[in-house]
Amino acid sequence: MELKILGTGCKKCRLLEQHTRQAVEKLGLEADIEKVEDIAAISEYNILQTPALVVDGEVRVSGKIPSARDIVKLLSE
């Protein structure tokens, strides 16, 4: 599984990364987690707000910070 955290490194972006790592650990998943902070790279995903969570190339969350529990549900789908 490939996960990307899109954001410029703000507090919200760091919190999304923390929640994502907690969810991956809880599920025991093999996942590559990458932080994408480059504005040009972020703009390729056509999102209006950061932070965003991309799961295997698909934007699943944008403009909010889901809880680790919510991310567990999302990754379990």
Instruction: Tell me which residues are annotated as active site.
Output: 10, 13
34 Cβ partners below 8 Å, 6+ apart?
A: 2, 3, 4, 5
Report how far residue 27's alpha carbon sits from residue 13's, in angstroms, rounded to the nearest whole number. 21
- 59 residue type, one letter: V
